[in-house]
Amino acid sequence: MIYELELNNFTVFKKANLQFGRKINVLIGENGSGKTLLLKFLYAAIRLLPLHQKERKSFLQSKELENFLAVFKVDMVADLVNMEYKNKMAKTTGAKKNRTDTEEEIDIVTPNVVDVESKNIMCLEKADNTYEFNIDLKFRDILVSNLKNTIWKHTAFPSNLIPEALFLPTRELLSIYPNYQSLSKKYHLPYDQTYDDTIAVLGLPYQKERIAEYEKIVSELENAIDGKIFLKNEKFYYHPNTAPQGQDFDINMTAEGWRKLGTILQLLMNGGLHAGMVLFWDEPEANLNPQLIRLIAKVIIELSKLDIQVFITTHSLFLLREIDMLTKADEQIGKGDIRYLNFLGKGKIEQGDTPEELDKILLLDESLNQSDRYLEMWA
């Protein structure tokens, strides 16, 4: 479980200390405030942590570093360092131009990216023990170390300490699945590493024990789309409940919202989603009919109760309120299990265990007058 994160000079964040819920974390805020960047940092960092026990401390020019940068789709680590901090580290290069009648004197300034550095600490909690990992982004390199002990490369810790992670992007993945992996190796596709990773997991074979374990969620999702989604000959198909056997439809013939639900269905049935892992889900409500938002909230909560730590970003006050109401009514979710983080822009973040603790959200809710309309919708 990801317990805490300290960011220093990472992208839009100058400095931020974030505490997370054991089960559900809801990130809200304006576009460009850093929500998705935070999810991607957590995802990319988790994938790096097992590698810290290697003899080398540096990932310079390694496949691991390449994959880390590919999550953000940037060329170098310095691109992930806070811009204002980089400007402070800037140095003047080149000669000054002389003042003329038409041209003022100009300094040519370039950032000294060699000296910039983003120092971050991620805390994981397992079996009541907390492990701190330093993730230091330096120019073209990343240093990862376990801060719990002095000689980090010889540190022993539980083999299952570092969880598996899965990232669901905003758009659905079923329609772009066919031949994606072959094409991505040959061509430069406009998708980041999270697409590559998750699409690879989508192709795993079904596991009967998984289907039984998540039967409740699977049943509700299949009822919502009034059918089943399955993979055949490296392509996804949809079979309506009312259609005769063998009458299947190309997945592109179904609504995008249903394809999004189908992505969750596939991952549940093939074990891509399982207990003990962390799920990062960027805007789960995107392209969904508002009537399905309540179902998405229930799915998020049920997954969290099956020992999957869930992080979501959202722009939907309806989804926020639905999660709040359902978790308050659920006896299996208590204090410390859920956390709300409101991104205010320029790296500033409000944090609380309930939406009522977030002042900016209360003001927005009041200005839109959505509380009354929301209650009327579900009354």
Residue 231: band (very low, low, confident or very high) from pLDDT cuts 50, 70, 90: very high
Residues 241 and 367 both lie in one domain: no
Residue 78: band (very low, low, confident or very high) from pLDDT cuts 50, 70, 90: confident
When comparing pLDDT for 299 and 91, which is higher?
Answer: 299
d(CA 291, CA 297): 11
- Asked if residue 89 has pLDDT above 80, the reply is no
Residue 375: band (very low, low, confident or very high) from pLDDT cuts 50, 70, 90: very low
Mean pLDDT in residue range 157-164: 73
Residues 57 and 143 both lie in one domain: yes
Query: What does the DSSP assignment read for 343-362?
Result: EEETTEEEEESSGGG-HHHH
Angle, vertex CA 346, rays to CA 109 and CA 91, nearest 5: 15
Mean pLDDT in residue range 249-260: 92
Residues 36 and 64 both lie in one domain: yes
Ranked by mean pLDDT, which of 7-16, 125-134, 348-357 comes out on top?
7-16
Pair of tokens at residue 374: 């929301």
| Residue 173 included in any domain | no
DSSP state of 81: B
Residues 77 and 110 both lie in one domain: yes
* Weakest mean pLDDT among 157-166, 269-278, 307-316: 157-166
Selection from 227, 259, 231 nearest residue 245 by Cα: 227
| Residue 174 included in any domain | no
Mean pLDDT in residue range 333-337: 91
- Asked if residue 226 has pLDDT above 70, the reply is yes
Residues 114 and 134 both lie in one domain: yes
Residues 80 and 160 both lie in one domain: yes
Q: What is the pLDDT of residues 297-310, one digit of tens each?
A: 999 999 999 999 99
Name the pTM for this structure. Answer: 0.87
Residues 218 and 364 both lie in one domain: no
Mean pLDDT in residue range 38-46: 95
Neighbours of 59 (CB within 10 A): 22
- Asked if residue 61 has pLDDT above 70, the reply is no
Return the pLDDT at 311.
98
Return the pLDDT at 353.
92
d(CA 80, CA 69): 9
For the chain, the domain total comes to 2
Which of 244, 273, 302 terminates a domain? The answer is 273
The burial of 175, by beta-carbon neighbours within 10 Å (0-12 exposed, 13-18 middle, 19 or more buried), is given as middle
| Residue 219 included in any domain | yes
C-beta of residue 139 within 8 angstroms of C-beta of residue 114: yes
d(CA 120, CA 192): 22
| Residue 188 included in any domain | no
Return the CATH number at 59. 3.40.50.300
> Residue 72: which residues within 8 A CB-CB, separation 6 or more?
37, 40, 44, 79, 80, 192
Residues 75 and 33 both lie in one domain: yes
Q: Taking each helix axis as running N to C, give the angle between helix 35-48 and helix 63-72, from 0 to 180 degrees, rounded to the nearest 10.
A: 170
C-beta of residue 140 within 8 angstroms of C-beta of residue 58: no
Which percentage of the chain shows pLDDT scores above 90?
A: 47
DSSP state of 12: T
Which of 273, 289, 317 terminates a domain? The answer is 273
Mean pLDDT in residue range 151-160: 52
Mean pLDDT in residue range 61-84: 86
| Residue 316 included in any domain | yes
Return the pLDDT at 175.
93
Residue 204: band (very low, low, confident or very high) from pLDDT cuts 50, 70, 90: very high
| Residue 228 included in any domain | yes
Domain that holds residue 328: 2-92+105-164+278-378
* Weakest mean pLDDT among 87-91, 115-119, 193-197: 87-91
Helix ranges, the chain (H) = 35-48, 63-72, 83-88, 180-186, 193-202, 208-213, 215-225, 256-269, 293-305, 317-328, 359-368, 370-378
Residues 208 and 75 both lie in one domain: no
Residues 61 and 123 both lie in one domain: yes
Q: What is the pLDDT of residues 121-152, one digit of tens each?
A: 999 988 777 888 889 998 777 877 776 543 34
C-beta of residue 257 within 8 angstroms of C-beta of residue 286: no
Backbone angles phi, psi at 97, to 5 degrees: -85, 140
Residues 290 and 146 both lie in one domain: yes
Give, in order, the Cα–Cα distances in Å from 25 to each of 19, 245, 320. 10, 41, 11
| Residue 180 included in any domain | no
Mean pLDDT in residue range 322-326: 93
Pair of tokens at residue 270: 């093939």
When comparing pLDDT for 146 and 293, which is higher?
Answer: 293
Return the pLDDT at 379.
47
- Asked if residue 161 has pLDDT above 90, the reply is no
Residues 160 and 298 both lie in one domain: yes
Mean pLDDT in residue range 336-346: 91
Return the pLDDT at 278.
97
Selection from 210, 118, 131 nearest residue 163 by Cα: 131
The mean predicted confidence, pLDDT, of the chain is 83
Give the max Cα distance, the chain.
82
Which of 273, 304, 329 terminates a domain? The answer is 273
C-beta of residue 258 within 8 angstroms of C-beta of residue 173: no
Return the pLDDT at 133.
87
C-beta of residue 289 within 8 angstroms of C-beta of residue 280: no
d(CA 170, CA 104): 47
Return the pLDDT at 348.
86
